[in-house]
A = this chain, B = another copy of it.
Amino acid sequence: MKRLAIIAGKGPLPGEVAMAAIAQGHEVLILPIEGQADADFSGYQTVPIRLGAINKTRSIMLEHGIQTLVMVGKVVWPSMAALRPDFDGMKLLGKMITKGDDNALRHVAAYFAEKGIEIIAVDIFLPDRKMPSGLIVGLAPDGDGEAAISLGMAVLDALGAHDVGQSIIVQNGRVIAIEAAEGSDEMIARAKPLLDAESGVGCLVKMRKTAQDTRLDMPVMGCVTIEAAAKAGLSLLAIEADTVLLADDLAAIKAACVAANMTLIGINRSTAK
């Protein structure tokens, strides 16, 4: 029996990972992040944790003989005041000064690794949930749509080295919105008044940041995103294959796209110019 800890953020994915991990023979300890995790973990062994309590979290894992850790579910980056870091948390946060989100997570990962706790990528437990490659559903993009995808990929490529830019909205050769700290959902919502219904296909491109470590932070896309995109006036979603995780199963994703009249295509970074 391998003991696996699951640090659980918002949404149903942590529960699905727990089920899959048990099926794969792991003994699972769930660490729901207070104020973030919202799935039902009854029936599982759980110890709630506070996001800023880094040494407490490490101690809990060591007490439970954990050697492997997976982090899954959406985590909203809180303010320092809300974070109330403990002693080691404060030391780590000191290191994070002038660092982006990914660097922050890398420091946390290194801190756990000091005591032999290894972080693994969540997609090991959800192999069917990786975004597939190629046209998934909807009409194949025309020249306008392909140009939008290319521009979006080029801009995200230019940004990725700076630990920013997981998604972007493009229409008619214009960059309408770029995601920074606000998250994809908020970016999609604010793009609505900036998109022009008569001016060509509105396209969302979502990719892993160039330097992003998917063990620490895997980009996720699901039915909620599809519905939000349709509401904002988008009709083309270009999602990086293999590196973006689907929050819902592919049948549900396809059904949501059909209902929203949305084209979904899995893109590959290597094909970008």
Contacts and interface: CB of A to CB of B under 8 A. Distances in A.
A190 B198 contact: no
A98 B147 contact: yes
B81 A173 contact: no
Contacts of A176: 180-181
B173 A164 contact: no
A190 B182 contact: yes
A160 to B, nearest CB: 9
B177 A181 contact: yes
Copies held by the complex:
2
A79 B196 contact: yes
A181 B173 contact: no
A98 B162 contact: no
A235 to B, nearest CB: 16
Nearest to A169: B180
Interface string A160-183: 011111001100111111101110
Contacts of A103: 173
Nearest to A103: B173
A97 B172 contact: yes
Nearest to A199: B80
A178 to B, nearest CB: 4
Contact of A155 (B96, B154, B159, B177): B159
B182 A194 contact: yes
Given A81-B198, A97-B200, A155-B162, 10 more contacts: A79-B198, A79-B199, A98-B147, A155-B159, A158-B158, A162-B175, A169-B180, A177-B181, A177-B182, A182-B190
21 contacts: A79-B198, A79-B199, A80-B196, A80-B198, A81-B198, A96-B173, A97-B200, A98-B147, A98-B172, A98-B173, A100-B173, A100-B175, A151-B162, A163-B174, A163-B175, A164-B175, A175-B180, A177-B180, A180-B194, A181-B194, A182-B190
Interface of A: 79-81, 96-101, 103, 144, 147, 151, 154-155, 158-159, 161-165, 168-169, 172-178, 180-182, 186, 190, 194, 196-200
